[in-house]
């Protein structure tokens, strides 16, 4: 089966740079651009607006925004505006938000699962031109209505790693973005998708399973791996014990890395990343290494591979290399 390719950009970069990379990705055969959202970076919606104006066919989306730092009604109107600008090429990627980033805003991530269910409900109803009077556990909207018609209703993809979030994604969303790079994580996710699928409306479109991987490509494997180490350090430092145990990563090694990161000792954190951690939490190596790992992910049922940060030691070269050497391997042979 054909595998779609997505790419993640982080608006720590200027909006014009994100737009330039997105256009390059479009030209190199990528299907989707996902732009991350943290208040510390440039605005995801402004970045996506610029991406929409610079591209013509690639699907663009938040990868991902969240309903704690933006009210779902504001998410509904913002992403519908981008859908309008892009001519319907837009997906809403929605997550519970990064716990540590939200804590810096004094926002406690209360009832994330309930918040997700309610947000999706509110957003879809607003797009359907309803006046929403909502009295949920997390959201209370006395009277919300959009004063413009949403012609292009975006698909909604959920970020999910946890068992209940994964089940909810299969029940309610059009797709899921799983922040993981190892087949073990996808085998586990499948168990939860099956549970969620039982409650899914059969009229809803086919469920898109996106492997949102830390990805790094270079002809010299050690260069690719070195570029990925800081990202992997953050993943290891932020992972909960069951995930570390699933991949056989000793908890004390992870605690060690977490400590270095908290103190801003990034070089020490990078040096503490082991080959086992790289294997568990990223796809990094030569084009051949990357293709082999992607093939295994595809065999677990993934329908889209999202190439996430760092992409490689050089972003422009990495986008071109993925487009020329990796994507063609997964295009239909007939
Ligand atoms: N976060 C960002 O802030 N910005 C990004 O750009 C971003 C990108 C991104 C891309 C892909 C991806 O997969 C994740 C990404 N994230 C990003 C992280 C994302 O926002 C979420 O933090 C992450 O996906 C959440 O992962 P999770 O599936 O582990 O969900 C957490 C919140 C969780 O606790 N899940 C539990 C579970 O089992 O799935 C649910 C717990 C539960 O049931 N809670 C009950 C409820 O009602 O919510 C209440 C329990 C109680 O008593 O309070």
pLDDT tens for 246-294 read 999 999 999 999 999 989 999 999 999 999 999 999 999 999 999 999 9
Strand runs labelled E in 218-286: 283-285
**For residues 141 and 302, what is the distance between their CA atoms, to the nearest angstrom?**
36
Read off the pLDDT of each residue in 84-90 and give the average, rounded to a whole number: 98
User: What's the confidence (pLDDT) of residue 238?
Assistant: 83
Q: Which residues on neighbouring strands pair with residue 135, listed in sequence order? A: 140
Query: Binning pLDDT at 50, 70 and 90, where does residue 332 land?
Result: low
Tell the burial category of 220 from Cβ atoms under 10 Å away from its Cβ (0-12, 13-18, 19+). Answer: exposed
Kindly indicate the confidence band of residue 308, based on its pLDDT and cuts at 50, 70 and 90. Answer: very high
C-alpha distance from residue 91 to each of 41, 99, 158, 170, 207 (Å): 20, 23, 10, 16, 14
Give the tens place of pLDDT for each residue, 156-204.
999 999 899 999 999 999 999 999 999 999 999 999 999 999 999 999 9
Q: In angstroms, rounded to a whole number, what is the distance separating the alpha carbons of residues 80 and 295?
A: 35
Residue 334 has pLDDT above 80, yes or no: no
Ligand 1 atom 51, closest CA: 111
101 token code pair: 């980033």
What does pTM read for this prediction?
A: 0.95
For residue 285, how far is its CA from the centre of ligand 1 (angstroms)? Answer: 29
Q: Is the Cα dihedral 199, 75, 112, 241 positive or negative?
A: positive
Q: Whose CA is nearest to atom 50 of ligand 1?
A: 111
Take residue 236 and report the two structure tokens written for it: 């290891």
Cβ-count burial 96-107 (b if 16+ within 10 Å, e if not):
bbbeebbeeeee
Determine the average pLDDT of the residues in 125-148: 98
- Please report the atom of ligand 1 found closest to the CA of residue 101: 3
DSSP conformational letter for 328? G
What per-residue confidence (pLDDT) applies to 99? 85
Ligand 1 pocket, residues with Cβ under 6 angstroms:
36-38, 63-64, 66, 95-98, 101, 111-114, 159-165, 177-179, 212
Whether the per-residue pLDDT at 333 is higher than 60: the answer is no
Q: What is the CATH number of domain 4-219+282-331?
A: 3.20.20.30
How far apart are alpha carbons 195 and 234 in whole angstroms?
A: 31
Bridge partners of residue 65, in order along the sequence: 94
Per residue in 208-230, pLDDT (tens digit) is: 999 999 999 999 999 999 999 99
Which ligand 1 atom is the nearest neighbour of the CA of 177? 13
């Amino acid at each position: 089966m054909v595998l779609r390719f997505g790419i993640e950009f982080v608006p720590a970069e200027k909006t014009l740079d994100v737009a330039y990379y997105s256009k390059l990705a479009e030209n190199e055969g990528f299907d989707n651009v996902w732009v991350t959202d943290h208040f510390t970076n440039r605005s995801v919606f402004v970045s996506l607006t610029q991406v929409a104006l610079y591209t013509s066919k690639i699907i663009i989306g938040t990868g991902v925004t969240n309903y704690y730092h933006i009210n779902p009604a504001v998410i509904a109107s913002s992403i519908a505006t981008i859908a309008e600008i892009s001519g319907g090429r837009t997906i809403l990627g929605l997550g519970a938000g990064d716990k540590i980033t939200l804590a810096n805003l004094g926002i406690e991530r209360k009832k994330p699962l309930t918040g997700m269910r309610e947000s999706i409900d509110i957003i879809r109803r607003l797009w359907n031109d309803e006046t929403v009077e909502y009295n949920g556990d997390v959201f209370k909207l006395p009277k919300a209505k959009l004063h413009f018609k949403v012609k292009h209703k975006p698909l909604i993809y959920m970020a999910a790693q946890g068992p209940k979030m994964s089940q909810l994604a299969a029940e309610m969303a059009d797709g899921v973005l799983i922040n993981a790079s190892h087949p073990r994580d996808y085998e586990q996710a499948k168990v939860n998708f099956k549970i969620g699928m039982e409650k899914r409306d059969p009229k809803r479109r086919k469920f898109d399973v996106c492997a949102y991987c830390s990805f790094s490509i270079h002809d010299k494997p050690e260069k690719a791996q070195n570029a990925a180490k800081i990202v992997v350090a953050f993943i290891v430092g932020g992972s909960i014990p069951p995930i570390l145990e699933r991949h056989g990563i000793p908890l004390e090694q992870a605690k060690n890395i977490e400590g270095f990161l908290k103190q801003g000792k990034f070089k020490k954190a990078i040096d503490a990343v082991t080959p086992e951690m790289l294997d568990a939490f990223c796809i990094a190596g030569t084009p051949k290494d990357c293709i082999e790992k992607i093939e295994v992910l595809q065999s677990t049922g993934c329908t889209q591979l999202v190439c996430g940060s760092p992409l490689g030691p050089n972003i422009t070269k990495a986008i071109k290399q993925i487009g020329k050497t990796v994507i063609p391997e997964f295009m239909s042979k007939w």
